[in-house]
A and B are shown apart, each in its own frame.
Chain A
């Protein structure tokens, strides 16, 4: 029985396996191959060298990588703090209102990210919604709130909120009510219940939520471009420019590979620590 199941499993995984290999793995291999090509070539028929990686280290591209990672960490952390109470309420308190909230949050995803960010630009820029009204009422002017690191992080938090919220709510819904009540009955304070019961029992949801937001925010580009102006240059921006303006595919590939490697390290470290089956549904 087990062997039949195994074979059926492999068989049914075949189509999606082929699709992933052709659409996901193959381009990745091309990028990996280009990352070890000499500078500014457009063919893979060259002797491999590591000049791109050397340039990345010498010319300060790693700074962009660090900035991206730091902002991704900050955004993920802030998102966790913001989303925990909301997710808790969705999973345990709101009842039917949860559905309304879910639809509301999902609806925002129907509007393109760029358009939503432009909305914020109009709100925050000099002469925009906030500064304009402020000037009108007080007569004092200021430079607008755009073009700095905090506003980029704000943009990241705003755009990626659903990706933290829903996994967290899913994770919290896995914490049995009576385990929380038992802890409370046994003398635990609200904080101790959080630390000893809720946090470990909702860990799968937390890890999934944090990983998704971290991976997405580390590769995000629109927030820094639209809200951040030229305040900082994120790694995705560098990659895009290497491929387009710079016409240097090997350098772009090397930057992309480095970003993938760093993010993959975090992802693997996270995923191996939790039982993904518990949140995705039990395997047979």
Chain B
């Protein structure tokens, strides 16, 4: 399936690379003009730059996750997008309307807060109806819509008269979601709403949220520091670092082809080996690379950067077994992950490599076990970085 020009970048060029994984985008109308366009958005607090010229284009109906460590500017970005904060410079466009000077209460977007920000003095029903009441919808219609929304977020109808304090954490999440949907926003923003929940509930709500996204067809922009959450739910992931997008693309692409060491390490466990090319050949730290395989892989002799191998691409070598890249080491410890097993291998050079095998390939491990590790070049990714 070929999707033409799904997203227009601010400079007018179509960015196809972000949509290489088209199988996940069937619910999105990628041919329509983008719903949100952010151009050179900047925000500084006194001398501190919270947001450093962010550019972003979001397709109608997309589920975009913005991920980053705390302090990376993701909360500032979302507050600018919903209108709770004013930018220092830059533009925000919603469809063909510039909205960055429109106050939050007149923007057709809304946000589910990290704290949920439910009104404690109102019942579940009154909370959900709030945006409708503000618009002057009559009580009967309001109630009907609230009951519909209770259904949509899978809460029983009798919760309509329940007090917020009587609801559990997960139920409050659903109420907050229903209230935001009652507003009927063009774009629904989420500021880490699941971060306070326990693991099982979070997993369940992640799936429900994804399901809800597909059923409502709305554009969701979701902020989180949990990469796992982002990968489960979103079409695309933006990785943020010190006020900038470090990389933006489908989860699979960011996982397999990170553009920087930061993204590689942020996207889970990874083995990175420094590579220094002098123009004639490339030397790698910690590992031995077969020169024939290296030549065949098209490795440029001037390459400067890192060779990345995810733990699941690395094998423990049996005696006599070879690979494009090899190293010897001491298998320090073994961790059982259920269906998979992880080994921490201290290489002779001192580097600690992580190897992840499926359970069938588990080796008999004992303290002091010495083994070689190896992986092939076609399972690696090169990150150019000085």
**Which residue numbers of A lie inside 8 Å of B, CB to CB?**
176, 178-179, 181-189, 192, 196-197, 200-201
Residues of B within 8 A of A181 (CB): 84, 104, 113, 117
Known pairs A183-B130, A185-B84, A188-B134; A178 contacts B117 (CB<8 A): yes
B160 at the interface (CB under 8 A from A): no
Whether the pair B119, A188 counts as a contact (CB closer than 8 A) is no
CA distance A47 to B119 in the complex (A): 59
CA distance A188 to B106 in the complex (A): 9
B174 at the interface (CB under 8 A from A): no
CA distance A181 to B114 in the complex (A): 12
Cross-chain pair count, CB within 8 angstroms:
62
Q: Which of A185, A189, A197 contacts B119 (CB 8 A)?
A: A197
Counting chain B CB atoms within 10 Å of each CB, which of A179, A183, A186, A200 scores highest?
A186
CA distance A283 to B130 in the complex (A): 31
CA distance A82 to B183 in the complex (A): 34
Q: In chain B, residues 107-143, which have Cβ atoms closer than 8 Å to a Cβ of chain A?
A: 110-111, 113, 115, 117-121, 130-131, 133-135
CA distance A187 to B183 in the complex (A): 8
Whether the pair A185, B105 counts as a contact (CB closer than 8 A) is yes
B194 at the interface (CB under 8 A from A): no
Residues of B within 8 A of A178 (CB): 113, 115, 117
Whether the pair A186, B134 counts as a contact (CB closer than 8 A) is yes
Distance between B189 CB and nearest chain A CB, rounded to angstroms: 9
Residues of B within 8 A of A179 (CB): 117-120
B175 at the interface (CB under 8 A from A): no
Judged by DSSP, the binding face of A is: helix
**Top 10 closest A-B pairs, CB basis?**
A182-B117, A178-B117, A186-B131, A200-B121, A187-B134, A185-B104, A184-B105, A188-B134, A187-B105, A178-B115
- A sample of 23 cross-chain residue pairs with beta-carbon separation below 8 angstroms, ordered by A number, consists of A176-B117, A179-B117, A179-B120, A181-B117, A182-B111, A182-B113, A182-B117, A185-B82, A185-B104, A185-B110, A186-B131, A186-B134, A186-B179, A186-B183, A187-B105, A187-B131, A187-B134, A187-B183, A188-B130, A192-B134, A196-B119, A196-B130, A196-B134
Distance between A280 CB and nearest chain B CB, rounded to angstroms: 18
CA distance A185 to B135 in the complex (A): 13
CA distance A188 to B183 in the complex (A): 11
Whether the pair B135, A187 counts as a contact (CB closer than 8 A) is yes
CA distance A183 to B111 in the complex (A): 11
CA distance A188 to B179 in the complex (A): 13
CA distance A176 to B131 in the complex (A): 18
Distance between B131 CB and nearest chain A CB, rounded to angstroms: 4
Whether the pair A201, B121 counts as a contact (CB closer than 8 A) is yes
Q: Which of B105, B113, B120, B135 contacts A201 (CB 8 A)?
A: B120
Distance between A206 CB and nearest chain B CB, rounded to angstroms: 13
Distance between A110 CB and nearest chain B CB, rounded to angstroms: 38
CA distance A108 to B319 in the complex (A): 90
Q: Which residue on A lies nearest to B133, using beta carbons?
A: A196
Q: Which residue on B lies nearest to A192, using beta carbons?
A: B134
Whether the pair A188, B105 counts as a contact (CB closer than 8 A) is yes
| Contact mask for chain B residues 350-385; partner A; CB cutoff 8 A; 1 contact, 0 none | 000000000000000000000000000000000000
Residues of A within 8 A of B118 (CB): 179, 182
Q: Which of B106, B113, B120 contacts A187 (CB 8 A)?
A: B106
Additional pairs, 10, CB under 8 Å, beyond known A183-B134, A185-B83, A186-B130: A179-B119, A182-B111, A183-B119, A185-B111, A186-B131, A186-B179, A187-B106, A187-B131, A196-B130, A196-B134
Residues of A within 8 A of B111 (CB): 182, 185
Residues of B within 8 A of A188 (CB): 105, 130, 134
Q: In chain B, residues 320-374, which have Cβ atoms closer than 8 Å to a Cβ of chain A?
A: none
Residues of A within 8 A of B183 (CB): 186-187
